[in-house]
Amino acid sequence: MTVVLNSTKHGGAGEPLIILHGLFGSARNWQGIAKLLAERYCVYTLDLRNHGSSPHADGMDYPSMAADITAFMNQNNLEQATVLGHSMGGKVAMQLALTAPDKVSRLIIVDIAPVAYQHNFNDVLAGFYHVPLDKVTSRKEADQYLAEKIEVVSLRQFLLQNLIPSAAGRFEWRVNLASIEKNMSAIMGFPANATQACFDKPSLFINGERSSYLAPRYRSSVADTFPNAEFETVLKAGHWPHIESPSAFMEILNQFLG
């Protein structure tokens, strides 16, 4: 069953462009890029299921998440769109392009490949669960608990965007941790039947130079399934090139979009 995704619309004129965030992220992560793109496109940033302000759901495989995007497009009378996805959102975008190619005019994938990865994010989940939500009274205090499990400050800042006030006057995580944990193998994988298809429209794969998610060994998998794929690298960037080097990222986007 599909869920109705929370969305933010940027701009009004131009070709529709849909942006899909990564695991533990939200549409908010892409506000800056969306505002720049909105000068020429009608941009929709979406919260994927179990993230941001979108509904929670038990299932979280890529066919289900791609179906959510199709439903969103139908609800908003979008026959076709350029679809940009980062990390998990990139896999959702690839699933959509491979199973509903008529919905996607161009594809932009940020730092991910159509392959299964061995990461399980147990360290991140441990950090989330380590924060005693019934006790913490401030974001700063929550960060102190997170720091006991996660050393990288920028990662903690990213995760803390999910901390929101609860109805009981405390804090809660807006991501559905239980569903994410239960579906982690599906999230880190990619449906084998999808890669038997082929999406031959213009496609751009962007990686961060310091990230291994779109390493050269994965590019044959991309080329087999996306024969018109172009590859670009954001220098001195990791897994979040749109945040770490937004100017270089936008230059690459603009060259592809024309």
Domain assignment present for residue 179? The answer is: no
Same domain, 137 and 238: no
Same domain, 151 and 102: no
Could you report the per-residue pLDDT of 225-253, keeping only the tens digit for each? 999 999 999 999 999 999 999 999 999 99
Compute the average pLDDT of residues 103-116.
98
Same domain, 202 and 111: yes
Same domain, 91 and 135: no
Domain assignment present for residue 143? The answer is: yes
Domain assignment present for residue 181? The answer is: no
**Residue 254 pLDDT > 90, yes or no?**
yes
Same domain, 23 and 111: yes
What is the DSSP code string of the chain?
------EEEE-SSSSEEEEE--TT--GGGGHHHHHHHTTTSEEEEEPPTTSTTSPP-S---HHHHHHHHHHHHHHTT-S-EEEEEETHHHHHHHHHHHH-GGGEEEEEEES--SS------HHHHHHHHHS-TTT--SHHHHHHHHHTT---HHHHHHHHTTEEE-TTSSEEESS-HHHHHHTHHHHHS--TTGGGS---S-EEEEEETT-STT-GGGHHHHHHH-TTEEEEEETT--S-HHHHSHHHHHHHHHHHH-
Could you report the per-residue pLDDT of 23-68, keeping only the tens digit for each? 999 999 999 999 999 999 999 999 999 999 999 999 999 999 999 9
Same domain, 113 and 149: no
Same domain, 92 and 194: yes
Same domain, 162 and 194: no
Boundaries of domain holding 110: 7-117+189-257
Same domain, 38 and 106: yes
Domain assignment present for residue 180? The answer is: no
Of 146, 174, 202, which closes a domain?
A: 174
Token duo for residue 21: 């965030």
CATH number of the domain within which 42 lies = 3.40.50.1820
Residue of 96 and 167 predicted with greater confidence: 96
Domain assignment present for residue 157? The answer is: yes
Domain assignment present for residue 156? The answer is: yes
Domain assignment present for residue 183? The answer is: no
Q: What's the chain's average pLDDT?
A: 97
Q: How many domains, in total, are found in the chain?
A: 2
Domain assignment present for residue 2? The answer is: no
Instruction: Report pLDDT for 167.
Output: 85
In DSSP terms, 60 is beta-bridged to none
Same domain, 67 and 126: no
Same domain, 14 and 101: yes
Same domain, 28 and 88: yes
User: Percent of the chain at pLDDT above 90?
Assistant: 96
